[in-house]
A = this chain, B = another copy of it.
Amino acid sequence: MTTSGTTIGWIGTGIMGAPMCGHLLARGYHVRLHNRTLARAAPLLDRGAVWAVSPRQVVEQCDVVFTMVGFQQDVRQVYWGEAGLLAGLRPGVTLVDMTTSSPSLAQEIHAAARAKGAQALDAPVSGGDIGARNATLSIMVGGDKEALDRLTPLLEVMGKIIVHQGGPGAGQHAKLSNQVVVAGTMVGICEGLLYGYMAGLDLPMLLQSIAGGAAACRSLDVLAPRMLKRDFAPGFRVDHFVKDMGMVLDEAKRMGLALPGLALVHQLYLAVQAQGHGKQGTQALLLALEQLSNTQLAGPAVG
């Protein structure tokens, strides 16, 4: 069913969605596409994807539809309403939401799909813009194992590590756990660089030492060099990260779980937003910490 030649539905062509959908096209899949802003889908249409005017029109002609949009309300808009996916859903179809969204919304979608004899998976990803472009994403999947097994060949076109985390919503919970780890890592990296700068160290040389020791991590490799170049363009946007951390804090409150580290990082990212950097990449955390101590890492002026 999902061999090359099959028509796949795709909704959402942002920083992540566009390269992920591009990999499917490159492998010879036919893609039926919708995006809120037509212009941002143009490069994929040039490569052979076919435009549909609504999510409903996408699903009416496909057996598998992937969604990769921004916020929870965008997911609701794509799935519900007159022109939404659920309105056009037929038995046997599988919907895969790759947006990072709330576990309870994933469960809601799963139940709504089930009611129509269809399937839904939550399959958020980690690995950022680079992971999306290189098809090395980690894909965390919640929902029925059998549905995942059927779609694994498609997911393998976009990612490298594909793990079934449990029932509906479990993929979202796994992604939120992942974001908690990222949050701690980000504040550590920014503060470590600031300390090294104030101590008079050569920062590229400092990174060389840190990357070789116990603090080695992906964000250090990818985002610290961007910080040193004062390149705050988004791989992963601050606004989206704040959304993710907010969902964790909501869930954790419900669970009776205190997360003091995450709560602090969440506050610091609210400061990043307050300072007008919400559409920058998560490495812009550095800007809020610089402002806090009225300093700035040496380097070219902010672009």
Query: Which residues in A have some Cβ–Cβ distance to B below 8 Å?
Result: 103, 125-128, 131, 137-138, 140, 160-161, 163-166, 170, 173-174, 176-196, 198-202, 205-206, 208-220, 222, 236, 248, 251-252, 255-262, 264-265, 268, 289, 292-293, 295
From B125, B176, B206, A174 is in contact (CB under 8 Å) with B206
Do B264 and A191 touch across chains, with their CB atoms under 8 A apart?
A: no
B-chain residues with CB within 8 Å of residue A184 when the two chains form the complex = 184-189, 191-192, 261
Interface residues of chain A: helix, strand, loop or mixed (majority): helix
Instruction: Tell me how far the C-beta of A231 lies from the nearest C-beta in chain B, rounded to whole angstroms.
Output: 17
Q: Are A262 and B166 in contact (CB under 8 A)?
A: no
Q: Which residue of B lies closest to A216 (CB)?
A: B218
The residue on B at minimum CB distance from A295 is B257
Contact partner of A188 (CB less than 8 A), chosen from B182, B206, B211, B255, is B182
**Roughly how many angstroms separate A186 CA and B186 CA in the complex, as a whole number?**
11
Q: A126-B209, A215-B219 are in contact. List 16 more A-B contacts (CB 8 A).
A: A165-B206, A174-B201, A177-B196, A181-B191, A184-B184, A184-B192, A185-B215, A187-B261, A199-B255, A213-B218, A214-B222, A217-B219, A257-B295, A260-B264, A260-B268, A261-B264
**What B residues does A186 contact at CB under 8 A?**
184
A214 to chain B, nearest CB (A): 5
Chain B residue numbers with a CB within 8 Å of A200 are 166, 170, 173
Nearest B residue (CB) for A186: B184
What separation, in Å, do the CA atoms of A289 and B211 have in the docked complex?
A: 27
Q: Are B258 and A178 in contact (CB under 8 A)?
A: no
Q: Which residues of B contact A293 (CB under 8 A)?
A: 256-258
